[in-house]
Structure 1
Amino acid sequence: MTKAKHNCWTCKERKVGCDRALPKCANCKRSNRPCQGYDLKLAWPDKVDGRRKQKKYRADPTALASNYITQDGSFAFLNTTSKDLSGRKFSVQEMMQGDMKLVPAVSSICSVNDQDGLLLSYYDSVLARMITTIDDDTNGFRLDLIQMALSSSDASSRSLLQATLALSSFHLGRQEKALQHKVQAIKSLSESFQAESTSKLAQLATCMMLCVYSVFDASDTTWHVHLQGAKTITAALTKQEREVPCFEFLSPWFNYHDTLSSYSHPAHLPSEEAHQAPDILLPECDSDSRKIIGSLGCSTELLQFVYCINQLRSLKDCSRCNSAHAGRGLLELSLLIRARLQHLKQEIHINIGETTGTIDHQRITLTAEFYRVATLLYLYQVAPPQAIPEKAVQGLVNDGFQLLDQMGLCTSPWPLFIIACNVTSDAERLKIFSILHAMNQKRRIGNYEIIKGLIQTLWKQQDLSADERAPKKIDWRSLIDPNSCIPSFI
């Protein structure tokens, strides 16, 4: 029979033995007393017990209430409830309750009608420039996708056009119109798979554009579905299709989403690899891999290191890694990745043209460095303790905040989330809240609300375990219901 791990609270108060039976102990039943159960119980130091040494609780004189007032005049705090104490897992949508807001229409363009040309123009002039850090003549969001959408009247091109219009409509606050375009995009995409002649690259672009739509719309939980479609199409591309110039833009865009999808999933090895641990191949270091890609915010070399750490996390958690030999292998690999990341250089290459937008070299450099700092922090979450230098984590958190201060506006959710997982003080938490608020105000992307809800849930669990003798590291993935949607961090 399953029993509780400790005595019930009624028996503890009576200082008698408890048989720890579930759901109520036999002592309480026999004496007709209400059994208080075995759940976590909060206590406040309002009762002096002379037989036990009392903890000293001291108020922080610098922790004034005014420090917790946000820009909009409300208080920032973590409202811990009984749900947080229950130990159950949460769906991503539950984490956002109370924070969901409709995306407001942009006041300066309220008079814009629903004609497709104006929506496409909004995408070209605003969205396609907003979702990249380098708006030069390599900006495929403008120069490749629009051309693919308008180059043909076949179903694959129509699907890409409709997905693009859906994204513009949603960001303008026209949710109903956005949904209509999205349905048309999916319908046309389905038709394209039945057609004899179609463009797989346009199909891939449509799947990726629908991924971006899911990132913008917090209520859309189909990001991983569209990404799986993109993965299937990419695997079926021929050598000739991979040599088409637009694939040079599509490939890193897809890899970025795919790598962050692997980051979000719980660590596991695929069934076909269960009998043999896969080799982790570190990325090559050359001029092409060091180049910062606008659609990523960092270099492809750095993105490949994130992928390597995803694999390292899977290997660490598999049963084979309990052996001393496997442990040494993980330590050596972690030290090698750490050395490469510490000395990694990322370079800016700008292709100036007639349609090139504003190029902010400092912001591009700071964003790429922000990714590098976050990737090192991610490595330290996964690596054996021997691979983590003393005080290295707090030092990287400080570096991250310095970079954020210089950036002004953060545009990269994943490295910000990594920083948030490692903050230790209320002052740092308030900075994270402030940064997320500014991101949401300026860019109006629903994914930020999902990330905020996830951060709050993680912080509350960290607070609940803070007084334990050996506070355990909490994997945020363990807090999410496995049947819930997967956060994207895009």
Structure 2
Amino acid sequence: MPSNGCWTCRDRKIRCDEGRPKCQKCAHSNRECRGYGLKLSWPGAKSKRSLIGNPSRGSTDSKSHGSIFLHTDFLDMEIHQYLSKSAGRQVHGESNRDLLSLNRPVTIHWKPFQLRNTEIDLLAYFESVASNTLATFNQTRSELCGLLFRLALLDTTSSSKCVLWSILALASLHKNGNQYQTMQLKLTAVALLKSSSTDGVDEAVAVRHIAAGMIMTTLEIHSNEDRDSQWTWFLCGSGRLMHRSLHILEALGSDGSMLHDWTSYYGSLTGFTLRHWRRMAPISTSVGSEMPDSRMVKPPPVCSPSTHKSMGLPENSHDFLKLIRDIFHGILRPSDAGYHDPAYAESLKDWEYRVKKYTVSYDKNTEKDRNSIRGWDDNFQLELFKLALLIYIERSARSSSGQSEKVTSYTQRGFAVLSQMNYCELPFPLFIIGSEAQSDEERTLILGLVRSGDANQSHPLSRLESMLQAIWAQNDLETNYELDYTMKLDTVMTSSPRLPCFA
């Protein structure tokens, strides 16, 4: 279950980003990441601190005492670690927030031992491996994993079961691939979603449906079915349900905020996808077929750009998500009415200013970071996202792929940041910054990051690689003319056999 970071970061007394298989803090400092498991030390018999082999304090006859065994659980060790920081003494004025965050596990009605062995194995695989595929924004993966487990194992209702079977399906996909077991688990989860809605969706059911829908979104994104865009159905269903259940999520406190930000993050970046997907006629190829195939499943009407825009984001959404939404929904094409209006030019300047000035501010009264992005513990990730947005604003404003001093400056800074990372899990910055790569060194760097992320199963970045190579090919062919930037993105993203996801 959730940890407080790898043992290397704990020993260094710094905050860990809890990356898998090793955290970025250790990777950036070239240190060995010693993992997240429970670590117990077994002192020798002659050690003064030994609990085994030594008599208790006050004992005069060591022969009358045997070995001492401790019956502890994970929380006991966490409390011990907390107390050992101050040797059991309360420091005046020091906050107890670390202690308050330690809660005994809630008793659940549906215990894992009631599941079959194969299902228990999949739960363990999800916790240790498959949960790393969850694209997080304002939460750590361990926190999100813990929340999903609580929702899945809360009781025996169909709404809890649909969360559980969604988890099992995602774990099976990453462990076994698109095999029969994965398909059966997925169909069971969908059937449970339907059956738990027959009598209406109350507050408890709504929360679990949002969670199950987001897990199914992740499953469909990672599926190897090239002609499958069903992730948009699950995402938009979760998004619409979230908008109808904001008061419920608010009442749930941190758990509700976690689901809210998780869903909103995907929804915000889907705005970029829908701006460029299928915005042009199918491309005729030399063999007389069409690319992409017009018979492929299109995004559902509920996810059309106009509908997606009308859904918007709630007022209590994270400020950075609001900024992303404003940019993707506000950028105009040269053919759009208002493209040449002075008001639109002012909007572009405002977005550029807001992106540049966005920082994490510290509130001394609450000792919390306002507008912090807890899923992005490393400043590199926020900087990359800001640079990608600035490049996209500048390119879209000029609607040109030609030379630009601003783009050159942003790109150079972006590659300077990327060169310090061992892997990157943010598809949007990788795509936008990577599209500007000109030299073999820059393209090799991008491909290395894409492939390392794909190898870690953090995101299906192999599809991103094919789109980047298509962009680079067009950039290399662009010698005597300047391509329209927006049309280039339209064409490359539309040529992808499935709806791309950049979350």
TM-score by length of 2: 0.60
Question: Distance between the aligned counterparts of 1:371 and 1:422, measured in 2?
Answer: 15
Which one-letter code corresponds to 2:387 in the other structure? V
Q: Name the counterpart of 2:412.
A: 398
Deviation at 1:114, TM superposition (A): 5.8
Give the alignment partner of residue 389 of structure 2, picking from 375, 378, 382.
Answer: 375
Q: Is residue 322 of structure 2 the alignment partner of residue 319 of structure 1?
A: no
Q: What RMSD over aligned residues (CA atoms) do the two structures have, in Å?
A: 3.9
Q: Summarize the alignment of residues 246-325 of structure 1 with structure 2, pairs less than 5 Å apart.
A: 246-266=255-275, 300-313=318-331, 315-317=332-334, 319-322=336-339, 324=340
Q: Name the counterpart of 1:62.
A: none
Is contact 2:154–2:160 with CA below 8 Å preserved after alignment? yes
Q: Is residue 231 of structure 2 the alignment partner of residue 223 of structure 1?
A: yes
Q: Name the counterpart of 1:417.
A: 431
Deviation track 1:364-393 (CA, whole Å, cap 9, x = no partner) reads 22112221221211221222489x995221
Q: 1:411 to 1:470 in 2, by over 3 A?
A: closer
Question: Distance between the aligned counterparts of 2:137 and 2:234, measured in 1?
Answer: 25
Is contact 2:388–2:433 with CA below 8 Å preserved after alignment? yes
Q: Name the counterpart of 1:434.
A: 448
Deviation track 1:43-81 (CA, whole Å, cap 9, x = no partner) reads xxxxxxxxxxxxxxxxxxxxxxxxxxxxxxxxxxxxxxx
Q: Is residue 181 of structure 2 the alignment partner of residue 181 of structure 1?
A: no
Question: Distance between the aligned counterparts of 1:283 and 1:192, measured in 2?
Answer: 26
Which one-letter code corresponds to 2:193 in the other structure? L
Question: Distance between the aligned counterparts of 1:131 and 1:283, measured in 2?
Answer: 22
Structure 2 gap ranges (5+): 1-115, 280-300, 367-373
Is contact 2:419–2:445 with CA below 8 Å preserved after alignment? no
Question: Distance between the aligned counterparts of 2:335 and 2:325, measured in 1?
Answer: 17
Question: Distance between the aligned counterparts of 1:421 and 1:483, measured in 2?
Answer: 16
Question: Distance between the aligned counterparts of 2:275 and 2:429, measured in 1?
Answer: 18
Q: Name the counterpart of 2:31.
A: none
Q: Name the counterpart of 1:164.
A: 167
Q: Secondary structure at the match of 2:262?
A: helix
Q: 1:211 to 1:174 in 2, by over 3 A?
A: same
Q: Is residue 208 of structure 2 the alignment partner of residue 208 of structure 1?
A: no
Deviation track 1:424-479 (CA, whole Å, cap 9, x = no partner) reads 2232222211211111122264x212111222222223333x12234443432233
Q: Name the counterpart of 2:196.
A: 192
Q: Secondary structure at the match of 1:319?
A: coil
Deviation at 1:407, TM superposition (A): 2.2
Is contact 2:428–2:502 with CA below 8 Å preserved after alignment? yes
Question: Distance between the aligned counterparts of 1:211 and 1:430, measured in 2?
Answer: 31
Question: Distance between the aligned counterparts of 1:168 and 1:205, measured in 2?
Answer: 15
Q: Is residue 470 of structure 2 the alignment partner of residue 468 of structure 1?
A: no
Structure with more contact order per residue of length (Cα contacts < 8 Å, sep ≥ 6)? 1
Question: Distance between the aligned counterparts of 1:204 and 1:365, measured in 2?
Answer: 29
Question: Distance between the aligned counterparts of 1:137 and 1:461, measured in 2?
Answer: 38
Question: Distance between the aligned counterparts of 2:269 and 2:120, measured in 1?
Answer: 33
Q: Secondary structure at the match of 2:425?
A: coil
Which one-letter code corresponds to 2:189 in the other structure? A
Q: 1:347 to 1:209 in 2, by over 3 A?
A: farther
Deviation at 1:130, TM superposition (A): 6.0
Q: Is residue 468 of structure 2 the alignment partner of residue 451 of structure 1?
A: no
Question: Distance between the aligned counterparts of 1:163 and 1:282, measured in 2?
Answer: 26
Q: Name the counterpart of 1:146.
A: 149
Is contact 1:218–1:450 with CA below 8 Å preserved after alignment? no
Q: Secondary structure at the match of 1:460?
A: helix
Deviation at 1:274, TM superposition (A): 12
TM-score by length of 1: 0.62
Is contact 1:283–1:305 with CA below 8 Å preserved after alignment? no
Question: Distance between the aligned counterparts of 1:132 and 1:481, measured in 2?
Answer: 23
Q: Secondary structure at the match of 2:481?
A: coil
Which one-letter code corresponds to 2:327 in the other structure? I
Structure 1 gap ranges (5+): 1-112, 290-299, 352-359
Is contact 2:178–2:224 with CA below 8 Å preserved after alignment? no
Deviation at 1:166, TM superposition (A): 1.0
Deviation track 1:320-377 (CA, whole Å, cap 9, x = no partner) reads 225x5x2x1121111112122112113699x9xxxxxxxx999622112221221211
